[in-house]
Amino acid sequence: MQTIDTVHSTEQLALDLVATEAMGAVRALDPGSLAEAADLIEGARRVFVLGQGRSGIALRGLAMRLMHLGLTAHVVGDTTAPSIGAGDVLVVASGSGTTGSVVRAAVAAAGHGAVVVAMTTAADSPVGRMAACTVIVEAAAKTDHGGTASAQYAGSLFEQTVMLAGDAVFHALWQRSGAAAEELWTRHANLE
């Protein structure tokens, strides 16, 4: 039977692990690739995001923040997402870079003249090779159960890093814009 101290100790160790791994993965991101992603997003007519599972959830957060900034952002698969075309950017996240639906969407987007930004652990993956800008995340792929890249389950570290990288890109774009927080707030949801 576990005591309260043991449970709290276990929880603290878990918090420390997640924080340490996330900090390491964020610090391993190449600021140049994030700047390139920010440039492409800033110059886009519209921004679309796509990822499956938790990677998709992380990118939904980026789409929301880009909307707060005043950019036109869509989540692929939502019923209100329009067709993609020239001048648009598709931001995708796939730890392996081989997720079928993500690869197919990236190929289709490029075929329609859009620019692809990819977040992946594998630069030499199909998504990594075809993207105009690839942000490499130093994390375990979801099928890596060896614990060498991360002690966390499946693709947790990748997904956490995608969320934080998206927030960093947003913050850089916000700073470039010079907009006040109050201006962004006018676009925040008010039907809560």
Q: What's the chain's average pLDDT?
A: 94
Contact predicate 25/139, CB 8 Å = yes
For residues 62 and 139, give the distance between their C-alpha atoms in angstroms, rounded to a whole number: 20
Residue 26, number of CB atoms within 10 A of its CB: 16
Percent of the chain with pLDDT over 70: 95
pLDDT at residue 128, rounded to an integer = 97
Percent of the chain with pLDDT over 90: 89
For residues 147 and 176, give the distance between their C-alpha atoms in angstroms, rounded to a whole number: 39
Q: What is the mean pLDDT of residues 3-7?
A: 59
Residue 160, number of CB atoms within 10 A of its CB: 22
Which residues are annotated as catalytic? Answer: 159
pLDDT of 7 over the 90 cut:
no
* pLDDT tens profile 137-185: 999 877 777 777 899 998 999 999 999 999 999 999 999 999 999 999 9
* pLDDT tens profile 8-40: 789 999 999 999 999 999 999 999 999 999 999
Residue 165, number of CB atoms within 10 A of its CB: 22
Q: What is the pTM of this model?
A: 0.93
For residues 127 and 148, give the distance between their C-alpha atoms in angstroms, rounded to a whole number: 24
Q: What is the mean pLDDT of residues 39-56?
A: 97
Q: What is the mean pLDDT of residues 80-88?
A: 98
Residue 78, token pair as written in the block: 């939502």
User: Could you tell me the domains of the chain?
Assistant: 4-185 (3.40.50.10490)
Residue type, 133: C
